[in-house]
Chains A and B, each alone.
Chain A
């Protein structure tokens, strides 16, 4: 297929799509039917509060009821209780249920929010996350008593490594940005171990904002490389900024325009040639599952957003999980402790778990001295790889259980890699999120994951072509899992901006796309339908966009657009006022 062919010959045949999906009879994916009983504000819990009311009920313990005065010295004792709300359980439940009704969600309707991969979150994963054996395990449980968890983590790590084409991974980072920073610290440790002091990390101008922020926190300077007219990294510009002081490059591929960086091999070669490393931002991994792997493209470090690609629910802004996978030459630097499959199905008889490598410099025991933990790492040979199996003689698992059917020696333990950069999480990462991701991967399998990518890319391209007459398509060539459209013409012609389109779409019963990102596109509308939306939903979404654009050019269109949304629980909110007169708590209300 030649570039640009996608959709060209079918352009005049739009009805075909509509007929095939019989959308007139079955409009899909809209939440406009959601019943909303009114448009009043919900009082805060503090306003519902009445002194003396309560919800709590606690276990009968029989522990002696000493007064606080006998337990806590006066200077440490609180004189007044922390004032919280005082509500009945009935009022509590009603309050938060009403709040839930004021919230859009994937379960309610389509969520074409570009770069966020808001796909359906399978309910089986909720069941898994609630299993008592997973949810009720304390993170400091000796390895021998948490073999199921260790097995789960190892299985997930192995699957993620296969999916990304990498050698090993840390599951500790709690979100994508945490993964980025972990990756940059790995990059830093790698160069430091080779005695090199590199200062710059290259980022395309289309990158997510977390990339440059992470680079700064990683102790590097950002060098921005522009995109070319095709929306990809400008190779000539890249070669110009490459040099021996470049630590690496952070790339999202497909990039934030939804385009595959076709020159990736050349980019990889050029960066590696100057001794830099390639960092893969996994925000868009969904597009390439089972099709192409970051490791095969030449990336050295890869983070994944399990809350995007692997369907763990986003929770209104987290929890996510941002595992980082690395190539062979970086494995010994990974954060620890790591869960591992023990080579002989057993290990040393100890129950160490959180055993950290000793810090480079401790504070002087007699008083603070200098403890500088920056860039240059500890003398890197001082910490051996530690294998901690944690065998409890009296609690050997029953024979026949999954993790180590062979006998009493556990099959899994923790290790701290030889030159580990250290811990990046209080414990082992967002474990229950990891369990959900493994469930998702196992249900899909190799075949299903590939199908996920195919359908995600199919849906995005279908919308690209379907909406070509409606919006600008700044980079009109085959896209991957998302498409960046633009309302630049609409704004010029009718005075309706991308933000207005987003707000109008809310009135249509859909969540809005991402707007004004990537920054290099004027009036950007970044649409990621995901693979779990049906063709009927896509058609309904396209028709909603068409109605919005048609209405924009009708008399009074700009005014109507600026007044949108009108059907939502609240109308357009005054963000300037929120920033100008900061009210971050109920107590700060004027």
Chain B
């Protein structure tokens, strides 16, 4: 049976002879004898592709909750958006899939230009002049934004709205152990950040402010207030913005954000159990020399033809080493290419339409739930654009379990995001009973109607 290794036995023998060796073991003569693995790895023997594929198909089939079996109302940063055949076909082209980082621009214009177009679209979405070539996911983009903000302001104190996605805040905490940034969580009051008027006793003024737009509970934050607060302290504003809602909302850059980050999965990437996703990162020109990761710029070749190349390379780890702005090397280029294709497919009118349809569906859901005995809104009556949090009579995890039996992935239990004890975004009781529900442009009126009917039952004791 074949594997992916082309050498015939005769060729191996010939090559070994060319090296003056008589066995492949001798290739490893520099590995101390005592360290060499006797008896080989304790793994099964190799199996033919069809057998392995069958195993993986079995595993895939065991995911009962997948979005082609249950109607997906779950969001929390991962959304069931349309990924059309054209985008799948183009993003799946092996020239994009099997290329390496574009270190040789003369033979990498395809990826470089696609990323240049991606950067342009992300910058326009964010309302800022520069966007990078991507980061790992929304959380990693936020970490990098906070690193940039603290470096730019020279102040490592970071006020983070509790309305920022709980997992992203968790990742921020993890990496702050290394950077030493002081993270201060600013709680929500009725779904929106209760920014303090002044630095409390013993507190420190912020160098960076971080807010969500909309925040993870679906509420629209007052970004003008964030900008004013930042200006009062000489701080930078980082906004974690939903790039789909940006099709409907004033851009975060327009509100005065210095850095806008986001999760780009919604543009051309399937739910994928959480990855690979796409970290979006845009900033002001003033901060471009602190930009993390790769940046593609336009230039010309020897003959004056337009060409693209990774630029401002002196920021990057392979040149600047321990003084680099970031350690990011491999990013999520293929997802960035997919996003460029998806945004090209949507175009000006399509993005606006998707954003509007999400808002309509979410609004329709909220209207439909009015008067339900077991379900009420968690956050008052602020506008909703793609997601809303509700409070269910029974614990939300129970609701999700029950709803799966009715054919729905009902949403994400807040306790799965913030823990049973709640956090600055919701108190413990709301954490247990809070359910985050997302409605994308793929949800039909019929699905929403059936969902509401099922939820009214599932949410009650």
Contact = CB atoms under 8 A, between A and B. Distances in A.
11 contacts: A1-B29, A82-B247, A92-B345, A177-B330, A213-B321, A216-B324, A358-B421, A359-B173, A370-B202, A426-B77, A457-B27
A264 B32 contact: yes
A68 B352 CA distance: 10
B134 to A, nearest CB: 7
A248 interface: no
A138 interface: yes
Interface residues of A, number: 258
Contacts of A335: 174
Interface string B148-172: 0000000000011010011110110
B177 A189 contact: yes
B246 to A, nearest CB: 7
A579 interface: yes
Contacts of A290: 37, 40-41
Interface string A24-65: 000000000000000111101110010001111111111111
Contacts of B82: 58-59
A575 B360 contact: no
Contacts, number: 889
Contacts of A144: 64, 401
Contacts of B24: 454, 458
A148 B59 CA distance: 4
B405 A394 contact: yes
Contact of A58 (B335, B363, B441): B441
B404 A46 contact: no
Contacts of A586: 116-117, 120
Nearest to B352: A81
Contacts of A501: none
B290 to A, nearest CB: 14
Contact of B100 (A55, A317, A571): A317
Contacts of B413: 351
Interface in A428-473: 428-433, 435, 438-439, 441-452, 454-455, 457-459, 461-462, 465-466
A61 B441 contact: yes
B253 to A, nearest CB: 11
Contact of B184 (A84, A369, A395, A565): A369
A251 B187 CA distance: 43
Contacts of B370: none
Interface string B126-148: 00011101101111100000010
Contacts of A381: none
A260 to B, nearest CB: 4
Interface string B80-118: 101010100110111111111111111111110111110
Contacts of A584: 116, 119, 123, 129-131, 288, 295-297, 311
Given A6-B19, A55-B345, A432 B275 contact: yes
Q: Is the interface of A mostly helix, strand, loop or mixed?
A: loop
Closest 8 CB pairs of A and B: A427-B274, A133-B60, A145-B65, A103-B110, A315-B334, A139-B274, A445-B46, A148-B62
Given A44-B113, A54-B349, A137 B360 contact: no
B416 A351 contact: yes
Given A355-B419, A358-B421, A446-B43, A424 B174 contact: yes
A99 B109 CA distance: 7
Nearest to A564: B106
Given A368-B203, A583-B298, A135 B271 contact: yes
A16 interface: yes
Given A63-B364, A288-B31, A587-B120, A572 B301 contact: yes
Contacts of A184: 178
Contacts of A79: 250
Contacts of B5: 451-452, 455, 531-532
A455 B7 contact: yes
Contacts of B74: 138, 140-141
A355 B420 contact: yes
Given A426-B168, A446-B44, A137 B273 contact: yes
Contacts of B26: 1
